[in-house]
Structure 1
Amino acid sequence: MNWDDLRVFLAVARAEGLSGAAKTLRLDPATAGRRIARLERSLGAVLFAKSPQGYALTEAGQRLLPRAEAAEAALAEGRAETAGAGGERLSGTLRIGAPDGCANYLLPQVCAQIGAAHPDLDIQILALPRVVNLSRREADLAITVSPPATQRLRAEKLSDYHLSLAASRDWLAAHGAPDGPEALKGARMIGYIPDMIFDAELDYLAGFGVTRVPLASNAVSVQLNLARAGAGLAIVHDFALPAAPDLVRVLPDRVRLTRAFWLVSHAGPRDARLDRFATLLRDGMRAEIARLEASVA
């Protein structure tokens, strides 16, 4: 199995189509399509169901996805270990803006690893419960939960991530688990302050018909700590659960959401230093999400 073909497979799966994947890989869509066809022939299986809406993974594609992500993570770890050993080290200051869940539970590990390989680089993490404004130069790069609508910015899909319903063991012992997703409408829920949800992708509870949030915060870390304190049920990032071992996933087969992180940069002339840092950040983020989510699967 050819890693270059697997790399194309991952890009198509993440972009849900050839055009987005080709843009990420800097290939033309026809080349990306030929790579997918070659991989399918080598495996003797159809990996994508193609439709006017895009490319959706088949059962065979779903089985291949975690193995391809594991190979990607292993390569990313190898790159991180050797970064700076044979090439020029990064230096200066770079600032990343990110929503606070990503900033709290993913970026510290990723940036620590990059910083160890590039000791002359100063990395600043701007954690905000809103979209970081690159146009006002608040940061050099931003991580968002949906791609920007403006053409003045460049966006690359970083990785899917997952969220689960969770509560503390003490809360579950006292109140019991809900019978199903429909029971969340009457449950004591923890979530975002409704009028401070800055992206529709974060309106997790609306899909379950929840209209009242008795305990709310604009910060993911506060929501997590409310759940740890036994305040109720919360929708929690799977990658944050290893930091809260006292929380238990509830209805894991019936309540599991999928969202995505996007890496956003200015659409102006390419900056080689920023591009190199973005590559390290992308590889590190994908590896860290895969590692943390695997520990709670």
Structure 2
Amino acid sequence: MHPSPADDAAAPDKGTGRRAIDPRRLRADDLRYLLAVARTGRLVAAADALGVDHTTVSRRIAALEKSLGQRLMERGTEGWSLTEAGKTVSENARAVEEALVRVADAASGQGAPSLRGTVRVNAPDGFGTVIATPALARVRRHHPDLHVELITATRQLTRHPSGFDLALAIGQPAGSRLVTEHLTDYALGLYASDEYLARCPTPASIADLREHALIFYIESMLQVGDLDIERHLPGLTPAFSSTNVFAQLEATRLGVGIGVLPAFLAQRSQLRRLLAREVDIRLPITLAVRRDAVTHPAVGAVRDALRREAADRGAELIPE
């Protein structure tokens, strides 16, 4: 997708020097293609959501760019993202998309508007699975025509977010293209299995941890600064590392060492908490929404469900 010279849909405005766009020459349906790529960050994924092939998506967005005389999408290392012009267009395109849904509901005789379309959520592995999934399941039960996608990975959000409508992130993501709010805090601590403690002496202080194998993230591949173990346990290096928190949990359960684990996961596995007073790490979870998705009813429903789930399960996230 590349910008094309504007055709006769756009003529220079003598007063401002900017091109005046004739709305009669725009195809409202092309805006749906723009929104689909903005949500997924991928042409193929957008094509699947729209029920067409990816060449059709590319062609329709190119036609929209030509009509508007501006480049709306740009390709980066993580897929396609909106340009500043594209962001402005997509924010207004949401209203068109929602109007089409209301028209379909009215034509089918449905009294109240239904929630349809696709909402894509990014979340860390553990939080996404244990906390976000029940919230998303509840939304789906109430809105069976809505498609929900959950992508789990513990990574930092980029300054040019793409490929999601709403994201949960550890810490505070950077970037003005997101509307963010503090969702909740969660606690991490030291945990070990009975089998491990039967073989190795129980540490009585943080200094004793130097004699034990720690389990945590791979430092060289860690993309979330708040999870840097040096911040919380200076001078200690994990002996068993994984990018996946469930692998860390399983290694701890199998007696490989002492895991630095979220309490909401460890408490489900009959592990023993160690040095609870000395090591009580608290990290924030931020709820971030793309600016062009803030007013979308389906995104709002998912957002509310995540807020409610986090509030209801506060005792798991930060146990006493």
Using the size of structure 1 for normalisation, the TM-score is 0.64
For the pair 1:169 / 2:194, whether they are aligned, the reply is yes
- Within 5 A, what are the aligned runs for 1:136-175? 137-175=162-200
Question: Match of 1:154, SS?
Answer: strand
CA offset digits 1:58-92 (Å, max 9, x no partner): xxxxxxxxxxxxxxxxxxxxxxxxxxxxx755322
Number of residues paired by the alignment? 209
Q: Is the 8 A contact 1:133 1:139 kept in 2?
A: no
CA offset digits 1:34-54 (Å, max 9, x no partner): xxxxxxxxxxxxxxxxxxxxx
Gapped regions of structure 1 (runs ≥ 5): 1-86
Aligned to 2:27: none
Aligned to 1:14: none
**The one of 188, 209, 213 aligned to 2:238:** 213
Aligned to 2:145: 120
Residues of 1 paired with 2:267 and 2:238: CA distance?
A: 25
Indicate the percent of aligned positions where both proteins have the same amino acid: 26
Question: Match of 1:109, SS?
Answer: helix
For the pair 1:196 / 2:221, whether they are aligned, the reply is yes
How much is the aligned-residue C-alpha RMSD, in angstroms? 2.3
Please state how far the C-alpha of 1:291 moved relative to its aligned partner. 4.5
Aligned to 2:154: 129
Please state how far the C-alpha of 1:116 moved relative to its aligned partner. 1.8
Letter matched to residue 287 of structure 2? L
Letter matched to residue 259 of structure 1? L
Gapped regions of structure 2 (runs ≥ 5): 1-111
Relative to structure 1, is the Cα distance of residues 206 and 272 closer, same or farther in structure 2, using a 3 angstrom cutoff?
closer
- Within 5 A, what are the aligned runs for 1:1-297? 89-133=114-158, 135=160, 137-245=162-270, 247-268=271-292, 270-273=294-297, 274-288=299-313, 290-293=314-317, 297=320
Letter matched to residue 252 of structure 1? A
Please state how far the C-alpha of 1:160 moved relative to its aligned partner. 0.9
Residues of 1 paired with 2:210 and 2:162: CA distance?
A: 41
Letter matched to residue 172 of structure 1? L
Please state how far the C-alpha of 1:134 moved relative to its aligned partner. 8.3
Bigger mean CA offset, 217-226 vs 195-204: 195-204
Relative to structure 1, is the Cα distance of residues 160 and 151 closer, same or farther in structure 2, using a 3 angstrom cutoff?
same
Question: Match of 2:150, SS?
Answer: strand
Question: Match of 1:148, SS?
Answer: coil
Residues of 1 paired with 2:234 and 2:215: CA distance?
A: 14
Q: Is the 8 A contact 1:217 1:223 kept in 2?
A: yes
Question: Match of 1:263, SS?
Answer: strand
Relative to structure 1, is the Cα distance of residues 136 and 159 closer, same or farther in structure 2, using a 3 angstrom cutoff?
closer
Relative to structure 1, is the Cα distance of residues 115 and 242 closer, same or farther in structure 2, using a 3 angstrom cutoff?
farther
Relative to structure 1, is the Cα distance of residues 207 and 186 closer, same or farther in structure 2, using a 3 angstrom cutoff?
farther
Q: Is the 8 A contact 1:134 1:142 kept in 2?
A: no
Structure 1 stretches (4+) deviating beyond 6 angstroms? none
Residues of 2 paired with 1:270 and 1:171: CA distance?
A: 48
Residues of 1 paired with 2:279 and 2:150: CA distance?
A: 31
Letter matched to residue 188 of structure 2? L
Q: Is the 8 A contact 1:189 1:233 kept in 2?
A: yes
Relative to structure 1, is the Cα distance of residues 238 and 142 closer, same or farther in structure 2, using a 3 angstrom cutoff?
same
Question: Match of 2:186, SS?
Answer: strand
Q: Is the 8 A contact 1:153 1:266 kept in 2?
A: yes
Bigger mean CA offset, 223-232 vs 261-270: 261-270
CA offset digits 1:10-31 (Å, max 9, x no partner): xxxxxxxxxxxxxxxxxxxxxx
Please state how far the C-alpha of 1:159 moved relative to its aligned partner. 0.4
Q: Is the 8 A contact 1:168 1:229 kept in 2?
A: yes
Residues of 2 paired with 1:143 and 1:293: CA distance?
A: 15
